[in-house]
């Protein structure tokens, strides 16, 4: 494609300011893989340890005896590292900026000193309600500061949190509560997103019918909209605002082993039933804080905004744990990018003078689709660096982000990682890495990616294959909660001795990595293997197309045909002429082999609640096998599926 080879060089001012320039990247990377023991032994010291570790790395990917331990005899506390240790140096610095859903509601600035008090009080409320070290606590909260307080409070007393995104239904919540047997659930009266109220407490009450393990529900007052129902279950419900007043404002952090669990988090469910990913204390925090500092080149005083929800791993590592461990100012946004209109992100950037902005391709594509007029009235001059995570970013969207949002001044870090990896594994470092639109570029320190062919051979040089990681890094998940066998089978059985990511990937002549999507999303058309992402990028590059999802379907002659679901830009009309035009466009962009067989215009695509396109559902519809769509509990809007089935192209 036209833009794929363009190189965006590191600007001089970025290079000068950065912690890591190119020679430093190469020498540190070399050290990190030559002698991980020494490298991580050194970098582990970025945290405060109650008992320093003497052992650094004790890991094995050998099937089936996979075992991962980092800093295994070290003792520390995550909340002490994220809060208490900053009290001496920056007590009055803002730790969290909270921007509410409604722009008219005042924002909050919470200092480290205030954060300390809030976390201690929350921890004491948990203790008073019987939570002990090693217990699991389910958190079902909107994006309010209490979500961060609750996470850090759990970490403070050694409880394992499991956050369930507040957009999930009562049934999904019940399943996750039961899976990790939480006796305590933390929720709010209501959430607020895009001006709409979300009945969180009511959902918890419904979930409790299917989750009898729950003994206490701690309810934070947020909207104040449900007053009488705050105590619908006497003896179970705890009014947090009252409980908070009744406890002390100090709470000693529990001494935790580096390998004690910190949290459980369920994956997005793009490819099947979500997995309860377990992360532990020491390695996770070392990795989250180090990637936050270097990938985002975070310097003291910067304002950092990650737009994810704390219900996803991105929110765990880059709203709460990484930034706070680094003494950063982190912005937490309650709302959505489109409310009150598609200018909101940029208005918030201007309002709080955000320097580093990290979001997902789904948001970038949606805002691009809404039109440039929503960008034009805003300044964005505080921005220095942009980031992307969650899906491959199409070059078209990358360029729009780079040109329109960053005004060609801000490098983009396209960060590839997974819930399982705890932190970013492949990404540019802004002061070190020249950029190519759509490439996640190079591995972070200690990360050894490799590409495999279907027969289990490692591919050298420029190649396309399945992405594996050859050795452990500190932020890696340790197990699937309660199902170690599923952990071993899912990640270590396909290629023995290696961590299999499930993603397909291409490496170019500069050793840059390009994630092509899920391995399942590779299609074979007349003997040519191609990633569906490539066809999608071509479609999105058309001026009338806002989003596209491409899947294969059985085709008599070609083996697999190319089925495209296309969402048009605001104000564009679908027509047969446009179908012909798009087909021609893709042939010109990629070649005749990629010519779409079917194009279905779709007002909406099925997405997970974290905004990822669920291609497995689209595949079923394209295959005319829509009676069994698999696990759809993580779909954001199940309604779009009916429309897609109704308008499928096979009937024609
Ligand atoms: P499940 O594992 O339940 O199917 P999921 O894989 O969507 O869900 P996450 O852990 O949230 O759950 O997402 C990780 C995946 O997201 C990666 O494996 C990759 O496919 C995709 N991804 C994340 N960041 C990027 C990126 N920068 N470029 C390309 N793909 C990305
Ligand atoms: Mg996954």
Nearest CA to ligand 1 atom 30: 391
pLDDT of residue 229: 58
Proximal ligand: closest to the CA of 440? 1
CA–centroid distance, residue 477 to ligand 2 (Å): 12
pLDDT class for 524, splitting at 50, 70, 90?
confident
Proximal ligand: closest to the CA of 517? 1
CA–centroid distance, residue 270 to ligand 2 (Å): 7
Instruction: Answer yes or no: is pLDDT of 15 > 50.
Output: yes
pLDDT class for 4, splitting at 50, 70, 90?
low
Q: Residue 39 in contact with residue 281, Cβ under 8 Å? A: no
Closest ligand 1 atom, CA of 440?
A: 27
The string of pLDDT tens digits covering residues 358-376 is 999 999 999 999 999 999 9
CA–centroid distance, residue 306 to ligand 1 (Å): 17
pLDDT class for 528, splitting at 50, 70, 90?
confident
Residue 419 assigned ligand-binding role: yes
Closest ligand 1 atom, CA of 414?
A: 27
Residue 545 assigned ligand-binding role: yes
Q: What is the DSSP letter of 205?
A: H
Nearest CA to ligand 1 atom 28: 392
Residue 529 assigned ligand-binding role: yes
Kindly state the average pLDDT of the residues 386-401. 95
For residue 22, give Cα distances in angstroms to 15, 29, 73, 442.
9, 10, 34, 12
pLDDT of residue 271: 77
Closest ligand 1 atom, CA of 415?
A: 27
The string of pLDDT tens digits covering residues 188-234 is 999 999 999 999 999 999 999 999 999 999 999 999 877 665 667 88
How many CA atoms are closer than 13 Å to the CA of 531, on its beta-carbon side?
19
Instruction: Answer yes or no: is pLDDT of 633 > 90.
Output: no
Q: Please, what is the average pLDDT of the chain?
A: 94
pLDDT class for 12, splitting at 50, 70, 90?
very high
Q: Residue 246 in contact with residue 257, Cβ under 8 Å? A: no
Residue 460 assigned ligand-binding role: no
CA–centroid distance, residue 209 to ligand 2 (Å): 30
Residue 17 assigned ligand-binding role: no
- Burial, 33: exposed, middle or buried (Cβ in 10 Å; 0-12, 13-18, 19+)? middle
The string of pLDDT tens digits covering residues 104-122 is 999 999 999 999 999 999 9
Residue 391 assigned ligand-binding role: yes
Closest ligand 1 atom, CA of 501?
A: 18
Q: What dihedral do alpha carbons 267, 270, 271, 275 form, nearest 10°? A: 10
- Burial, 108: exposed, middle or buried (Cβ in 10 Å; 0-12, 13-18, 19+)? middle
Nearest CA to ligand 1 atom 31: 391
CA angle in degrees (0–180, nearest 5) for 478-483-484: 45
pLDDT class for 2, splitting at 50, 70, 90?
very low
CA–centroid distance, residue 264 to ligand 1 (Å): 17
Instruction: Answer yes or no: is pLDDT of 1 > 50.
Output: no
Beta strands in 293-375 (DSSP E): 303-306, 329-333, 356-359
Proximal ligand: closest to the CA of 295? 1
Percent of the chain with pLDDT strictly greater than 70: 98
Ligand 1 pocket test target in 270, 310, 609 with most atoms within 8 Å of CB: 270
pLDDT of residue 610: 85
Nearest CA to ligand 1 atom 29: 392
For residue 265, give Cα distances in angstroms to 177, 418, 422, 504, 630.
11, 11, 10, 24, 21
- Burial, 246: exposed, middle or buried (Cβ in 10 Å; 0-12, 13-18, 19+)? exposed
Q: Residue 135 in contact with residue 161, Cβ under 8 Å? A: no
The string of pLDDT tens digits covering residues 38-86 is 999 999 999 999 999 999 999 999 999 999 999 999 999 999 999 999 9
Proximal ligand: closest to the CA of 438? 1
Ligand 1 pocket test target in 275, 306, 417, 635 with most atoms within 8 Å of CB: 417
pLDDT of residue 228: 60
CA–centroid distance, residue 505 to ligand 1 (Å): 13
CA–centroid distance, residue 31 to ligand 1 (Å): 28
CA–centroid distance, residue 631 to ligand 2 (Å): 14
Closest ligand 1 atom, CA of 515?
A: 29
Closest residue by Cα to residue 351 from 149, 100, 143: 100
Instruction: Answer yes or no: is pLDDT of 273 > 90.
Output: no
pLDDT of residue 45: 98
Q: Which of 109-123, 130-144, 577-591 has the lowest mean pLDDT?
A: 577-591
Closest ligand 1 atom, CA of 314?
A: 11
Q: Look up residue 257 and give its two tokens.
A: 């082993």
Instruction: Answer yes or no: is pLDDT of 651 > 60.
Output: no
Ligand 1 pocket test target in 419, 537, 607 with most atoms within 8 Å of CB: 419
CA–centroid distance, residue 187 to ligand 1 (Å): 27
Nearest CA to ligand 1 atom 27: 416
pLDDT class for 632, splitting at 50, 70, 90?
confident
Q: Look up residue 88 and give its two tokens.
A: 């001496």
For residue 258, give Cα distances in angstroms to 57, 59, 111.
12, 14, 27
Nearest CA to ligand 1 atom 14: 418
Closest ligand 1 atom, CA of 427?
A: 27
The string of pLDDT tens digits covering residues 287-330 is 999 999 999 999 999 999 999 999 999 999 999 999 999 999 99
User: pTM (2 decimals)?
Assistant: 0.93
CA–centroid distance, residue 196 to ligand 2 (Å): 30
Total residue count of the chain as it appears in this document: 652
Q: Which residues form ligand 1's pocket by a CB distance below 6 Å?
A: 267-272, 274, 388-392, 414-419, 440, 501-503, 515, 518, 610, 612
The string of pLDDT tens digits covering residues 634-644 is 888 888 999 99
pLDDT of residue 272: 76
CA–centroid distance, residue 59 to ligand 2 (Å): 22
Kindly state the average pLDDT of the residues 485-490. 96
Proximal ligand: closest to the CA of 467? 1
Kindly state the average pLDDT of the residues 262-274. 86
pLDDT of residue 280: 98
ipTM score assigned to the predicted complex: 0.99
Separation of alpha carbons 517 and 168, rounded Å:
25
CA–centroid distance, residue 23 to ligand 1 (Å): 30
Nearest CA to ligand 1 atom 18: 418
Proximal ligand: closest to the CA of 394? 1
Kindly state the average pLDDT of the residues 14-23. 97
pLDDT of residue 423: 98
Percent of the chain with pLDDT strictly greater than 90: 86
Ligand 1 pocket test target in 418, 425, 442, 449 with most atoms within 8 Å of CB: 418
């Amino acid at each position: 494609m036209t833009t794929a080879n363009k190189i965006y060089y590191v600007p001089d001012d970025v290079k000068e300011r950065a912690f890591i320039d190119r020679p430093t990247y190469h020498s540190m990377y070399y050290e990190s893989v030559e002698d991980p023991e020494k490298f991580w032994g050194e970098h582990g010291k970025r945290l405060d340890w109650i008992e320093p570790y003497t052992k650094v790395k004790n890991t094995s990917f050998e099937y089936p005896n996979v075992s991962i331990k980092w800093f295994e005899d070290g003792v520390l506390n995550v909340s002490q590292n994220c809060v208490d240790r900053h009290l001496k140096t920056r007590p009055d610095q803002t730790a969290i900026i909270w921007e509410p859903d409604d722009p008219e509601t005042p924002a909050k600035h919470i200092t480290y000193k205030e954060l300390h008090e809030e976390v201690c009080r929350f921890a004491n409320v948990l203790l008073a309600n019987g939570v002990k070290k090693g217990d699991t606590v389910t958190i079902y909260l909107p994006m309010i500061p209490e979500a961060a307080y609750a996470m850090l409070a759990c970490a403070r007393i050694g409880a394992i949190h499991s956050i369930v995104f507040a957009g999930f239904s009562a049934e999904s919540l019940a399943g996750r509560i039961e899976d990790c047997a939480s006796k305590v659930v933390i929720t709010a009266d209501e959430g607020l997103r895009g001006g709409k109220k979300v009945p969180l407490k009511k959902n918890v009450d419904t979930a409790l019918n299917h989750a009898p393990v729950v003994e206490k529900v701690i309810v934070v007052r947020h909207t104040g909209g449900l007053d009488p129902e705050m105590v619908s279950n006497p003896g179970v419900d705890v009014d947090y605002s009252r409980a908070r007043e009744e406890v002390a404002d100090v709470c000693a952090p529990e001494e935790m082993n580096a390998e004690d669990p910190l949290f459980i988090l369920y994956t997005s469910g793009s490819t099947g039933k979500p997995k309860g990913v377990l992360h532990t204390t020491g390695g996770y925090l070392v990795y989250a804080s180090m990637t936050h500092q270097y990938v985002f080149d975070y310097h003291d005083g910067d304002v950092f905004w990650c737009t994810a929800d704390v219900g996803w791993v991105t929110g765990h590592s880059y709203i709460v744990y990484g930034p706070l461990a680094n003494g950063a100012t982190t912005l937490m946004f309650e709302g959505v990018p489109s409310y009150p209109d598609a200018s909101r992100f940029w208005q918030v950037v201007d309002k709080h003078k955000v320097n580093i902005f990290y979001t997902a391709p789904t948001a970038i594509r949606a805002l691009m689709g809404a039109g440039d007029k929503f960008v034009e009235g805003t300044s964005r001059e505080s921005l220095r660096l942009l980031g992307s995570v969650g899906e491959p970013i199409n070059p078209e969207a990358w360029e729009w982000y780079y040109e329109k949002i960053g005004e060609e001044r801000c490098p983009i870090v396209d960060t590839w990682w997974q819930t399982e990896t705890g932190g970013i594994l492949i990404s540019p470092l802004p002061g070190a890495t020249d950029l190519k639109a759509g490439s996640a570029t190079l591995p972070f320190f200690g990360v050894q990616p490799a590409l495999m062919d279907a027969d289990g051979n490692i591919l050298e040089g420029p190649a396309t294959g399945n992405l594996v990681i050859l050795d452990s890094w500190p932020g890696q998940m340790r197990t699937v909660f309660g199902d170690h066998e599923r952990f071993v089978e899912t990640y270590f059985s396909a290629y023995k001795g290696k961590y299999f990511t499930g993603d397909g990937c291409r490496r170019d002549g500069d050793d840059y990595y390009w994630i092509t999507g899920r391995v399942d999303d590779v299609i074979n058309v007349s003997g040519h293997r191609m990633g569906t992402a490539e066809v999608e990028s071509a479609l999105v590059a058309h001026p009338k197309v806002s989003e596209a999802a491409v899947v294969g379907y059985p085709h008599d002659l070609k083996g697999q045909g190319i089925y495209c679901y296309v969402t048009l830009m605001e104000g564009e009309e679908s027509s047969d002429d446009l179908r012909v035009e798009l087909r021609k466009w893709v042939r010109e962009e990629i070649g005749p082999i990629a010519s779409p067989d079917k194009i279905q215009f779709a007002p909406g695509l099925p997405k997970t609640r974290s905004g990822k396109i669920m291609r497995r559902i689209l595949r079923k519809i394209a295959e005319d096998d829509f009676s069994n769509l698999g696990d759809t509990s993580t779909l954001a809007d199940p309604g779009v599926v009916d429309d897609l089935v109704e308008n499928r192209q096979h009937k024609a």
